[in-house]
Structure 1
Amino acid sequence: MQHILDAITADGTTSEDFANLTLPESYRAATVHKDEVDMFEGLATRDKDPRKSLHVEEVALPELGPGEAFVAVMASAINYNTVWTSIFEPVSTFGFLERYGKISPLTKRHDLPYHIVGSDLSGVVLKVGPGVTKWKPGDRVVAHCLSVELEAADGHDDSMMDPEQRIWGFETNFGGLADVAMVKANQLMPKPEHLTWEEAASPGLVNCTAYRQLVSKNGGNMKQGDNVLIWGASGGLGGFATQYALNGGANPICVVSNEEKAEICRKMGAEMIINRSEEKWQFWNEDNTRQNPKEWQRLGKRIRELTGGEDIDIVFEHPGRETFGASVYVTRKGGTITTCASTTGYMHEYDNRYLWMNLKRIVSSHFANYRESWEANRLVMQGKIHPTVSKVYSLEEVGQASLDVHKNLHQGKVGVLCLAPEEGLGVKDEEKRAQHIDKINLFRGV
């Protein structure tokens, strides 16, 4: 791969030069193995260690198909789906690959005894397959993680509705935690050139997810002046939700777990903060079998103290079981609870009287369609939404990086260097970077 890295870092390398590069027969990638899916059997979720299941090894370069592209990956990032893949929860991802492999001879390439993980990347296009006209070798890109076939009519109004919708690097193979990735060319978007490789790689999945969940008509359809309750407001998802609320003229009410995270929210521009550790919310009893509505009421009262007597218009939900009952309760009449995940448990419980009698809505949201992804990336390119990288690891340390996310030892996003030999490379627009450097570095070292 060194000749590819040399071409990327050299001045004046042309598209023709990139097109003429010899591609390797194999490349480094972070994988999980099909014959190890039972390795954590009997262990509690918290005790499953991604460092034991994630391997960094040489894998064969797949055949490139129509409408696809090879990308030299300079940097990637860790998402919860990488953690789920690495601990084989809630199911092994090899079931996804097996089902995908049955569609066609091309999709059969994905059904392998190893799964190359990762749903974020920034890098350089190396080669495009037949039919690709928008992108060419040498283009500097990021990738969103929506993989669709779009052969059915369902996906042509909202590509997330395609029956064959999948998340690249989670429900497909050849993901971004590698030196080379294979993507559908319509996953590619321009790299924000005021950002480094690791900064540009990190927004991808969570930025697009937050955009659809909160801003899009397919999610919360947020408007100016809305009161938005954001759980985990300084985290990977919440850090972008907080930015979107502020950028869109809404009022974020940021729920965080400690003062350090509260300070991050304040530096982003948020003023209304609820510190869970200080206010000691207990929505469930000690054995986690029964909820405490009095705590919902206390939360509602606290919110009204912050907002001057107003209730919540939109809840940005992703913790799931731990918080969902409270989220439904505190939302105003006619308000919306948007949910995209369940990091504390999938079996939600809430008092349905507060939902139906007050005409509230629960809106499910999952990643983003092509247009939403493009709009989310466009806002990053404009310097209106910023990356939330707090720490960066090498690809060889992907197990530790995933453990950090699994144990919630991180803030914002954890980046991973792939081909990039060090942090800080890849910036072309120094002037724009200087204008936003404080926001870009807000999560660094936290």
Structure 2
Amino acid sequence: MESTMSGNTEQRSPDDPLAFEEPLFDPDDTPRHGVPLPPAPPTHPSLLRRPQAEKPMARTKHRLNTLMLFAALLITLVAALLYFLPGDSAPKPQPTLSAGLPTLPPLTATPTQPPPTEQPLTAATEQPIRYDAEVPIDLVAELLMRPAEVLPPKGALYRAQNPFTVAPARGRSEIIQYRIQPGDTLEKIAARFGISQDTIIWNNDGVYVNRLLPGDTLTILPEDGVLHRTRQEETIQAIADKYKVSPFSIVDSEFNPLLRNASPSTLLPPGITVMVVGGVSDKKPVYWNPGISIQGSGGSSSTVSFGGGPGSCGAQPNTGGTGALVVPLPPIYTVVRGFSDYHTGIDLAAPTGTTVFAADGGTVIFAGWSNWGYGNTVVLAHGNLLTLYGHMSRVSVSCGQVVSRGTPIGTVGSTGNSSGPHLHFEVRVGEVPQNPTNYLGF
């Protein structure tokens, strides 16, 4: 048997993968209950703890989040209701008159007079002239001849930056009739319309530069110059020579549209109005002469009178004065306007009621109201000199009264053609106004 088993045993090569032979089962080397398992690893104590209760802070946050969610939902619902609900389209009841109320008569329009307006005139045409202002040639020439303010540095390029644009003010294109208002002066009117006082004088006959009465009218040109009206046949060249301008300034002027195709030799018929821009007239200012009359050469036989209104005292003895004038106000005044060709005195602003004093001893030849714009006025004769005090609120002297230098004669006011409380003070030699600063210091 043994030889048979040994004889049947197959010899395997060492390289054969099946050459491994499982050992025989030995019941003595294996436990009866099998191979014991290794002990299980210990479990972490934290995994064996029972779950704890939720913290109070977490519960509060949860409740707050829930509350905010419900609040947002409620706001959304309210907004949706307000958006989709129809508006109040019910018609509102109209008020009705009670049967017991009386019926009012119908209103009727009452015609009224429109306020006076400035009436435009035109030069060489009956229609108002509208135009767009252009840069004057003389202004362009002046700007071109003006040297540069900043020189470029040597050896470098430089461009000066100028953020300003030179543009002329757009003026009027019409000749208007202006109604003088209380407080107006020639200086104020000229400044208001941007023209010179000479232009106003040249184009208004019979206007006294020291007497502008409210309600009177003045012709106001849109620019400085002269408004010429032909009385006979005249050439454009002759008109230009009279007012010292070039004839082409008349032909090319936008104020003379009917002369655009004319030449300097064009003959204009009588009755043509021509605007001469920049023209200069020989007309001189006219001063108001209140009717001063001086009789005699001084002393007790000399008399003097000053007309111009109810305040005139007639002929009064001219007793003379010291010749040394003093300022007629206490030192609380302000010089607001000086003497000029268009203003025959000096204006001293002071509070209403300030005492006015006589500048020198003399005789009262005018005490009261002046019809020529001075309001309450006093005039004193001091021999060959006269002093005038205008626009006073009160007169404190009477006709023929002889006063001394420093005597109170009235109080400061704003009567007559005045725009505010001040004293208009004049010094005259006979009828000729003088500059008061030549006689005393202010």
Same fold (TM over 0.5): no
Q: Which of the pair has the greater relative contact order for Cα pairs under 8 Å at 6+ separation? A: 1
Normalized against structure 2, the TM-score is what? 0.20
TM-score by length of 1: 0.20
Q: Which has the larger radius of gyration?
A: 2
